[in-house]
Structure 1
Amino acid sequence: MKRLKALLLNLTCIAATAQADSIVWLSAEFPPMSMTQGPHANQGYINSLFAYLQQALPQHRFTESVVPWPRAMHMAEQGGPYCLLAAFKTPEREAFLRFSKPYGHVLPLGVVISQEQIERVKPYLDPAGHVQLERLFKDPQMRPGIASGRSYGSLIDDLLKTTHDTAHSGFARVHQGESTSALFNMLDRRRIDYTFSYPNEMVYFAASHQLLRFYPIAGSNQLLPGRLSCTRSTETDRVFAELSHVLEGQGHQAVFQASYERWLPAYLLEHYRHQLAQLPAE
């Protein structure tokens, strides 16, 4: 009888261990990072990584919930069986999310102009070809366009704040929804002279706009680490541990890099790969 009870107990433990965790991955429409609609649906680099992780952990049930980004962050903050692939690590988010080691790295925001404006930007480039943004901001003849309510990172945000009341009486602003496409439209129509974007965003939208050019920003050209994150909940304990184990391998890196590079302009590929090669081992 004791042996039978021990056998049943072992079987129960095995069944519990084998039982899948159900995890909801929170995401938003961020082309070309994450896309669920249109001709490039599921061809973003986050889409590719998500598919890889699904295959790597078939023992779990993964579903995806595509919601506006503020809603995704609110849901994660409330807690639950949630994980994300597009949330940058910040001290505020660490209060309710735990972050993995980087699964890959992306180029930071830069300055985007129309090709016909290249000569006007040249005086503001350093020897490496990076825009000296503080000097550019001081030129009242070069008008920037920005998205209201969007954070462009501390360096750009601080410069926007300090120059708003000096060189410029006001920047051209658009609402954050569909802001990237709207700002590129303004470049087309010469209503602004430059804006800020990730290089892959520029490539994605370039088909609908005139020729555009991306420039890194001096002092803000370090690669940004992408990390997966899960809520600080017992519901995600096992999945987070197993996802972290997957990231100890190399397979995901090739998947991510190939998909990311697809959305980079050719003239940035060498720069991107050189930056990758300089990264310290984690």
Structure 2
Amino acid sequence: MLHLLFFIAVFFMSSVCHAEDTAARGENTITWMLADFPPLRIISGPFAGQGPSDMILELMRRELPEFDHKTVAANVARTVEEIKNGKQVLTIGLIPTPERNEIVLFSLPCALAPPVALIVRQEDLSKYPATVSLGSFVKTDTLGISLSRSYGAAVDAALRQIMPDDNVFIDSSDKLFENLAKMLLLKRIDGVLGFPFEAMFNARTSQSADRIAIIPITETGQYVIGRIAAPKTEWGRKMISRVNEILLRHRPEPSYRQAFERWLPPANVPDFNRIYDAQFLEQQ
């Protein structure tokens, strides 16, 4: 009988210790959910791992060595849903919106991008004015956008006015631009919203730079700021506090800024640096 009681006690203590160890490992795990978003996040090809989001991910891994860091490829909709459900998930470069502010904790700014533009086929460029209104565009042509992606407050507001519309195609893949760019060249859609540098990166790597044109849109003119996002939980609050400490120390460093600069057209670099110093580093 004593042997049986001893065995039960040992088994119980082992189970408790195992459960506590499992819980501790879970508490110390960060799952980074990231979309394939070159050149901000480059998953494959000769430039794999060289995007600004890749730099930030490596920075966080280096500065938070006590955590087990895992990465998962996911579109924005899935990532936001996991954060909403309180999972121990972080993502890089998410753009705040009124809806997201209800369910997401945001860090200080971590990413800066030039204004969104309309990308069309070069052969169709003469059809359009020098600056295009999205509302006018979808009256005659099909626009491609990515599911749950934010294009900045002004453009998001314009899209809400337009949708739902049969001339707006929504791509749900985890590739925020590449699939839509292919559809554009195949003439399945007539225009794609995106950052100019992501359009040019995609065009160069797919040998199609001479087949696309970039047109400014009337609904935007401001640079877009992205942040690291976490769930509205105690774990999320602790992570955002740690992340902010890291960003405050590293964003002023030349290497952080240069991770973005290297993908910009040279003509855009002076304006980028002006916004970086005046707004990006100062904004809370």
The TM-score, its normalising length taken from structure 2, stands at 0.71
Identity rate of aligned residues, in percent?
Answer: 20
* Residue in 2 that maps onto 1:67: 74
Using the alignment, how far apart are the partners of 2:199 and 2:264 within structure 1? 8
- The aligned counterpart of 1:234 is 234
SS of the aligned residue for 1:38 comes to coil
Q: Secondary structure at the match of 1:248?
A: helix
1:86 partner letter: G
How far did residue 110 of structure 1 move?
A: 0.6
Unaligned runs of 5+ in 1: 1-19, 126-130, 165-169
Per the TM alignment, residue 98 of structure 1 is displaced from its structure 2 partner at its CA by: 1.0
Moved more, 143-152 or 202-211: 143-152
- Whether contact under 8 Å (1:35, 1:41) holds in the other structure is yes
| Structure-2 residue corresponding to 1:248 | 248
C-alpha distance in 1, partners of 2:170/2:103? 31
Deviations 1:223-253 (A, max 9, x none): 1111112212223443321211122224466
Partner secondary structure for residue 92 of structure 1: helix
CA gap 1:196/1:236 in 2 versus in 1, 3 angstroms = closer
With the length of structure 1 as denominator, give the TM-score of the two structures. Answer: 0.71
| Deviation (angstroms), 1:107 | 1.8
Structure 1 residue 268 corresponds to structure 2 residue 268: yes
> Using the alignment, how far apart are the partners of 1:228 and 1:69 within structure 2?
13
Q: CA deviation at 1:64?
A: 2.0
Q: Distance in 1 between matches of 2:49 and 2:255?
A: 14
1:38 is aligned to 45
Q: Name stretches of at least 5 consecutive residues in structure 2 with no aligned partner.
A: 1-26
2:159 to 142, 157, 163: 157
CA contact (8 A) 2:144 2:168 kept: yes
More helix by share: 2
Aligned match of 1:216: 216
SS at match of 2:94: coil
Determine the C-alpha separation between the residues in 2 that align with 1:115 and 1:271: 26
Q: Provide the rounded CA distance (Å) in 1 between the counterparts of 2:176 and 2:94.
A: 19
Question: What CA RMSD, in Å, does the superposition of the two structures yield over aligned residues?
Answer: 3.3
* Mapping of residues 1-282 of structure 1, within 5 Å: 21-121=28-128, 124-125=129-130, 131-133=131-133, 137=137, 140=140, 143-147=141-145, 149=147, 153-158=155-160, 160-161=162-163, 171=167, 173=169, 175-177=171-173, 180-188=177-185, 193-207=190-204, 208=206, 209-211=208-210, 212-251=212-251, 254-279=254-279, 281-282=282-283
